[in-house]
Amino acid sequence: MRLLIKNARLVDGSGELGTADVLVEDGRIASLAGGDAEQVLDAVGRWLAPALTDPHVHLRTPGQETKEDLATGLAAAARGGYGAVAAMPNTEPVVQEPEQVRALLDEARALPGARLMVAAALTENQEGRRLTPALLLAKAGAALLTDDGRSNEDAGVLARGLIYAAAAGLAVAVHAEDAGLRGGGVMNDSPLAAELGLAGNPPEAEAARIARDLEVLRYAVRKAGALGHEPRLYLQHVSTARGAALVAAAQAEGLPAMGEVTPHHLTLTEEAWRGFDARFKVAPPLRTAGDVEALIGALERGELSAIGSDHAPHTAAEKDRDLENAPFGIPALEVAFPLLYTELVERRGLALSLLIERMTTGPRAALGLAPARLEDGAPADLMLFDPAQRRIVDPARFVSKARYSPWAGRELAGWPLLTLVAGKEVWRDSALA
Amino acid sequence: MGALRHLLDFAGWDRARVESLLETARMMEEVLERPMKKVPALRGFTVATVFFEPSTRTKISFELAARRMSADVVGFSGAGSSLAKGESFKDTLLTLQAMALDAYVIRAPVAGMAHQAARWLAGAVVNAGDGRRAHPTQALLDAYTLLEDLDSLEGKKIAIVGDVAHSRVARSNAELLPLLGAEVWAAGPAGLLPERLEGARLSTDLDEALADADAVMVLRLQRERMDEGALPSLREYVAQYQVTGARLARAKPHAPLLHPGPMNRDVELEGTLADGPRSRVERQVRAGEAMRMAVLYHLLVGRAA
């Protein structure tokens, strides 16, 4: 069946492309100049963009399906305008065998929603000792290797992992926090933590580990370069000004380091802790307003090239524990785009195409995918949103199992109205005529 | 200021509210001096003491305070293991709430738990200590005790000594005493001082903090601090920071000596000082009962009015 999206304003990471009639056929963009179609959608006043890619989500499958499962996670992603998400392997059991990767991909193919991409563990049980079979994992369809959820304490293991993953064509993603400096910190270490009587996780814990990991990358690049490979390091959820500066300096030297930033680190600060509410508990923690400014600057300049939601659902009961025992994590798939559209594009004047670039091309590079562009023949992974439609964040309406949000009650614009994956509708808002 | 709905900490408080509570506590202490130590002020109200952390002294003090005013009292002591999992905290509170209680006196091991409880419960919440965060009735009883010796706290130098970083007593006193005009100093070893203590001057120099102090408040030193690496050794602490008779001589003559208890005699404080003429330790316990009566009275009767 052919679908014609008429009068849409087109935008992708390369820029704003003007108004066009987009014909979708056989899962691809058949034409940007209209054509006959069985189904016609008038999208006047709305933006059509490539569907977003999220390089960092926790779908809790297998083993923790009370928090999220593939069906709810991929449906939540589709609602958020995402066409593809990469699920982290810190599940029970840890995803580290090729058979597990295939089984997850098979299960997801049968589900409506965003495409699933699988990140597999870098080391067995994410313990940071023995490497997982990167070549077999890549062959099975794994898109990334990471011990996310834990930090890689042994630098030698990380170096060998980077070199080996490069041979498999995969990037390695790291959660960079020095465990000793982090200690039992539940929030940013700052005068505010002292005032609130809560244990702090200092910004230096992140910076120290990023600095080390970049040296590990330098070593891996030197070693693997002799074999004609290029190890790629993807630094997840950079949360501090200092961390972002270290990543930028390494890039300026030509090191293949990519940096990610999350919606929460771009829009929230440690001040949220004054309410003593574990919905704001996340690792790395929410930092200061100065860090937020630095992260936005690094995002604009491309030093942080990818926005990852770090969608980390837990049950409401778990988030109602005390602030030490409540788990770390914020669910963000369903609000990330309208949140960033409102805060960065509408309020701060960031170019829309730049936001799209950081939510498509940046993440896709980490996952080994080409940039997503609106052009003839491109896969019809598309997202339509209305810049004028404003709506209050109401977690009760989430399809994610985690029906709470640090942004509950905020009025946002730019809610995705339609998400297509290979031309197939995976989300359609009832507001869409 | 409006009626007191909860007692969580002193954020947003003004001097008038503190003085009004202190005044009520003085009236309550008169009740405690009677042969028949009971008034009907809170008849028909039910107060729950909900202790997620072991404490005998504070619990008894609150329970007695409620009973002296004819409130019914129920007690809940959370088993350590169930709270370690954490799931039962909110459910425990909601279960208690279903029993039609009027006030919840909550002691909890983690900062913010009293605030969380106040969010979930319709009744009045009294923070009886939440982690390192706050212990407001302790600070109130300390102010009450200090005012017996000092008449006024205006311009008075109060030195708080010891493990300030981990002390909810220090935090609450640093919030409260400046409202009454006091100048608060907090002294201890570098590893046991917070980055900031709003309302207080921080110093690692004990002698400087004690110099001409109008009162000295000594904090308990938990032996776990050595295992955590916050402090090298007990020997070093005792040598450098124990409040001794000689060091106390730097303070003003007759400066009262307070300790929130329980004491480690000869660790943070030279043992015999606790029994000496400067010690107000027993006075604090008595003041605590009167103060807690005043708090419950303001919360329950103030709310109903």
| Claim to verify: residue B68 and residue B144 sit in the same structural domain | no
Quote the domain boundaries for residue B193: 136-284
Residue B209 lies in a domain: yes
Residue in A with minimal Cα distance to B197 = A195
The H or E element spanning position A292 is helix A289-301
Confidence check: pLDDT of B304 > 80 = no
pLDDT over 50 at A321, yes or no: yes
Mean pLDDT confidence for A36-41: 96
Q: Which tens digit of pLDDT belongs to each residue from A110-122?
A: 999 999 999 999 9
Mean pLDDT calculated for residue range B81-88: 57
| Test the B interface: residue of A198, A201, A320, A322 with most B CBs within 10 Å | A322
B163-181, pLDDT tens digit by residue?
999 999 999 999 999 999 9
Cβ–Cβ under 8 Å, residues A40 and A59? no
User: Considering only A13-22, A51-60, A402-411, B81-90, which range has the smallest mean pLDDT?
Assistant: B81-90
- The packing angle between helices A70-79 and A98-109, to 10°, is 60
* Distance, C-alpha B254 to centroid of its chain: 23
Q: How far apart are CA B128 and CA B123, in angstroms?
A: 15
Nearest to B128 by CA among B160, B168, B178, B186: B168
SS3 at position B6: coil
Q: What six digits make up the tokens of A388? A: 């004028």
Using a CB-CB cut-off of 8 Å, the residues of chain A touching B108 are: 322
- Residue A201's nearest CA partner among A176, A230, A226, A227 is A176
The CATH number of residue A337's host domain is 3.20.20.140
User: Average pLDDT for residues A371-376, to the nearest whole number?
Assistant: 97
The answer to whether A198 contacts B111, with C-beta atoms less than 8 Å apart, is yes
Give the whole-angstrom CA distance, residue B204 versus residue B225: 17
B170/chain A closest Cα distance in angstroms: 11
For B33-144, list the strands marked E by DSSP: 46-51, 72-77, 103-108, 124-130
Q: Which of A196, A320, A326 sits opposite B111 (nearest CB)?
A: A196
Are B7 and B137 in contact by the 8 Å Cβ rule? The answer is: yes
Q: Are the Cβ atoms of A324 and B110 closer than 8 angstroms?
A: yes
Is residue B4 in some structural domain?
Answer: no
Structural domain includes residue B32: yes
Number of domains in chain B: 2
Q: Do B60 and B160 reside in the same domain of the chain?
A: no
- Asked whether residue B107 is assigned to any structural domain, the reply reads yes
**Backbone phi, psi, residue A65, to 5°:** -70, -10
Q: What is chain B's alpha carbon radius of gyration, rounded to the nearest angstrom?
A: 19
User: What are the CA-CA distances from residue B4 to residues B17, B111, B305 (Å)?
Assistant: 9, 21, 11
The CATH number of residue B110's host domain is 3.40.50.1370
pLDDT of residue A431: 86
* pLDDT value, residue A272: 98
Is B177 in the same domain as B129?
no
Residue A413 in tokens: 């614009």
Report pLDDT for B81: 47
pLDDT of B292 over the 80 cut: yes
| B97 and B167 inside one domain | no
Q: Please report the DSSP string for A322-349 in residue order.
A: -TTTSPP-B--TTTHHHHHIIIIIITT-
Q: What is the pLDDT of residue B121?
A: 96
Question: What is the C-alpha separation between B96 and B104, in angstroms, rounded?
Answer: 9
Q: Write out pLDDT tens, residues A208-220.
A: 999 999 999 999 9
Residue-level pLDDT at B54: 86
State residue B75's pLDDT score: 92
Same domain, B110 and B175: no
Beta A424-428 vs A416-421: how paired, if at all?
antiparallel
pLDDT at B78: 77
Domain that residue A272 falls in: 51-373
Q: Does residue B79 have a pLDDT over 90?
A: no
Residues B114, B199 within the same domain: no
- Whether A71 maps to a domain, the answer reads yes
Chain B residues in contact with A326 by the CB 8 A cut-off are: 86
Q: B250 with B205: CB under 8 angstroms?
A: no
Shortest CA distance to B133 belongs to which of A323, A175, A381? A323
Reported as a single tens digit per residue, the pLDDT across B195-220 is 999 999 999 999 999 999 999 999 99
Which residue bears the tokens 């926005």?
Answer: A307
Asked if residue A432 is part of any domain, the answer here is no
| 8 Å CB contact between B38 and B268 | no
> Structurally, how many domains does chain A consist of?
1
Nearest CA in chain B to A277: B116
Average pLDDT over residues A70-94: 98
Q: What angle do CA A207, A209, A215 make, to 5 degrees?
A: 105
Q: What integer pLDDT is reported at residue A185 of this predicted model?
A: 96
Query: Does residue B299 register a pLDDT over 90?
Result: yes
Provide the token pair at A218.
Answer: 């330098």
Summarised one tens digit per residue, pLDDT across range A230-262 is 999 999 999 999 999 999 999 999 999 999 999
Where residue B228 falls among pLDDT bands split at 50, 70, 90?
confident
pLDDT at B80: 57
Residue B225: predicted pLDDT:
79
Provide the mean pLDDT of chain B: 93
- Collect all residues with Cβ–Cβ distance below 8 Å to A347 and sequence separation of at least 6: none
Q: Which among A285, A303, A205 is positioned nearest to A249, based on CA atoms?
A: A303
- B241 vs B233: CA distance, rounded Å: 12
What is the percentage of chain A residues whose pLDDT exceeds 90? Answer: 97
- At residue B88 the predicted structure's pLDDT band, cuts being 50, 70 and 90, is confident
Is residue A394 domain-resident? no
Contact across the interface for B110 and A322, Cβ inside 8 Å = yes
Q: Give a yes or no: residue B2 inside a domain.
A: no
What percentage of chain A reaches a pLDDT higher than 70?
100
pLDDT at B305 over 60: no
For residue A310, indicate whether it is catalytic: yes
CA distances from residue A245 to A189, A214, B30 in whole angstroms, order as listed: 19, 12, 65
DSSP bridge pairs for A115: A84
Position A357 in a domain: yes
End-to-end distance of chain B based on CA atoms, in angstroms?
Answer: 15
Q: Say whether pLDDT at B86 is over 70.
A: no
Q: Find out whether the peptide bond into B189 is cis, omega within 30 degrees of 0.
A: no
Q: pTM for this one?
A: 0.94
User: Would you place residue B224 in the very low, low, confident or very high pLDDT band (cuts 50, 70, 90)?
Assistant: confident
Average pLDDT over residues B258-270: 94
Interface touch A197/B131, C-beta < 8 Å: yes
Q: What is the pLDDT of residues A278-292, one digit of tens each?
A: 999 999 999 999 999
